[in-house]
Structure 1
Amino acid sequence: METKIFQSDQINQAAALLRQGELVAFPTETVYGLGANALLPESVKQVFTVKGRPSDNPLIVHVADFSMTAEFVESYHPLTEKIVKHFWPGPLTLIFKIKEGSLNPVVTGGLSTAAFRMPDNKKTLSLIEKTDAPLVGPSANTSGRPSPTTALHVYHDLKGKIAGILDDGATQIGVESTVLDLSGEVPTILRPGAVTQEALEEILGIEVPLDKHLVKESETPKAPGMKYKHYSPDTPVLMINSDDWEKALIWAEANDKKVGLLVTPKIADKYSSADRFVFADETVEAATRGLFSGLRALDEAKKVDIIFAEVFPEDHLGLAYMNRLKKAAAQNYFSEM
């Protein structure tokens, strides 16, 4: 299969393929999604096949406006209107109880709930409108690999497996959306992202708990990205605390390990002899934007035996960064042997 790259003036062609049941990757402000018409179960099944993704893992349904959810949602949480007003379009996925039979179980993972998002990307909103159907959109990569933040990343993983990719350059945020469960009484974050716990609590005026449960391989997750290990390159990753860089590099040299660094400029300047991917600046925003690109670049170069990654405080956006990094590293920090 030829995988076509679509530009802004070719959105109609991409939408036609989706209506026909083909798969087309699309850009969002977070990462690129692997699009299939959510109303065509056979197309959705192709998503799992192409990604090598477990079929019990629910998919996010992407809509062009909030009104598109009404066909599927059984009931809305009382805070839904306030949440949508402040955070849609944007990097926030909402989980609702759905009407029985309104979505095929292949979309929901067999659950009585479904996840919905309105992405903040004009090209993709136009694509959904022109398809005249919501789109499922898990990250457009091989399952378990770092999520794609450019069309080139998608092409690298899925060339010849999907019909097309709608290109809109690099994504702005770099990690997947926050997932907020609104199917129960208390809004609960199932996956942290750029819409932070603090931002939600400020707008809603209530405490919004974070579910830190890590789903084992034998469990069915309620939302994507809840697995214990995820986003992993083939090259092993270790997280390095700020006081451990010298010890970690000494350990690597003693064990004849070629190291790649995933770091801010300050750390990169200090250890300039190592292979490295350097974030644009010292901020957690830059680190989050570059995390998946850096993991991919160091892994695909095949020059290193292990990746040492810089950590950030686990608050605000740092919570999302560390959530993804911990899973990429299978929860492993460097510690002296």
Structure 2
Amino acid sequence: MTEFFAVHPTNPQPRAMSQAAALIADGGVLAIPTDSGYALVAHLDDKQAADELRRYRGLNSRHHLTLLCRDLSEIGQFAKVDNQQYRLLKHATPGPWTFILAASREVPKRVSHPSRKTIGIRVPNHPVTGALLELVGAPVLATTLILPGQDAPLVDPEDVREAFGKQLAGIIDAGRCPWQPTTIVDLSGSAPEILRLGAGDPASIGL
């Protein structure tokens, strides 16, 4: 049975957030609001939950999943970051960016790209997401909540409830999310490569 948590979008109720974090710790998949639409999230170390993320989205193992991190220091634990990349990440986070980086040994092989050994990393700028990550105490595995065959993500919690209300462990309802896709920057090669232009302006971080 799916649990629903209605929370304030900028000051989420601690009790509801603690209950949602406990569901993730128990291996549940949740739908949560972010600064770029709703996302499906799960505990990084739970294989079954990672498989469910891909199944809900209709994704294969070559699709980059993303780690939602609390801060820059957490990125350094789960991705290999050199000094130049660190400076760029420090300037860009938190914000509307997803960075493709070489995964560290802390990232389970089953969730990194099977041939490139890379992982998507981002630090969302959303109070509810941030509160949840603090309670989980670690990055969560995530993918934007886009229904199979669709191009845009779900941004209204009522649409999330209609689509997944009986399948997920929980849904955090913080109201309608803005839909501004993140700018995706691949930092795993010899030079940064912009894979998708979204809300983040590359010029603002020197790209």
User: What is the TM-score when the length of structure 2 is the normalising length?
Assistant: 0.87
Q: Larger relative contact order (C-alpha < 8 A, sep ≥ 6)? A: 2
Tell me if structure 2 keeps the 8 A contact 1:64–1:126.
no
Kindly indicate which of the two structures has a greater share of residues assigned to helix: 1
Match of 2:59 in 1: 53
Shift of 1:178: 0.8
Match of 2:183 in 1: 178
User: Which amino acid in structure 2 is aligned with residue 4 of structure 1?
Assistant: F
2:131 paired with 1:114: no
How well do the aligned residues superpose, as a CA RMSD in angstroms? 1.8
Match of 1:148 in 2: 154
Shift of 1:3: 4.3
> How far, CA to CA, are the matches of 1:186 and 1:77 in structure 2?
12
1:83 pairs, out of 88, 98, 110, with 88
Match of 1:285 in 2: none
| DSSP-derived class of the 1:106 partner | coil
Once the two structures are superposed, residues 172-199 of structure 1 have per-residue CA deviations (whole angstroms, 9 ceiling, x without a partner) of 3x13211111112211111111012333
User: Which amino acid in structure 1 is aligned with residue 130 of structure 2?
Assistant: L
Match of 2:193 in 1: 188
2:25 paired with 1:19: yes
Tell me if structure 2 keeps the 8 A contact 1:177–1:194.
yes
User: Which amino acid in structure 2 is aligned with residue 198 of structure 1?
Assistant: A
> How far, CA to CA, are the matches of 1:133 and 1:85 in structure 2?
19
| DSSP-derived class of the 1:79 partner | helix
Shift of 1:18: 0.2
Instruction: Identify unmatched segments of 5+ residues in structure 1.
Output: 209-337
Instruction: Identify unmatched segments of 5+ residues in structure 2.
Output: none
Aligned length: 199
Once the two structures are superposed, residues 43-99 of structure 1 have per-residue CA deviations (whole angstroms, 9 ceiling, x without a partner) of 11111122222232120110011111222223x244323322332111101111122
Tell me if structure 2 keeps the 8 A contact 1:41–1:104.
no
2:137 pairs, out of 132, 137, 141, with 132
Q: Structure 1 vs Structure 2: percent identity of aligned residues? A: 27
| DSSP-derived class of the 1:4 partner | strand
Tell me if structure 1 keeps the 8 A contact 2:72–2:90.
no
Tell me if structure 2 keeps the 8 A contact 1:31–1:147.
yes
Kindly indicate which of the two structures has a greater share of residues assigned to strand: 2
Larger Rg: 1
Once the two structures are superposed, residues 252-289 of structure 1 have per-residue CA deviations (whole angstroms, 9 ceiling, x without a partner) of xxxxxxxxxxxxxxxxxxxxxxxxxxxxxxxxxxxxxx
Match of 2:103 in 1: 98
User: Which amino acid in structure 1 is aligned with residue 2 of structure 2?
Assistant: E
> How far, CA to CA, are the matches of 2:6 and 2:55 in structure 1?
23
Q: How does 1:1-337 map to 2 (within 5 A)?
A: 1-7=1-7, 8-9=12-13, 10-74=16-80, 76-99=81-104, 101-110=105-114, 111-145=116-150, 146-172=152-178, 174-200=179-205, 204=206, 208=207
User: What is the TM-score when the length of structure 1 is the normalising length?
Assistant: 0.55
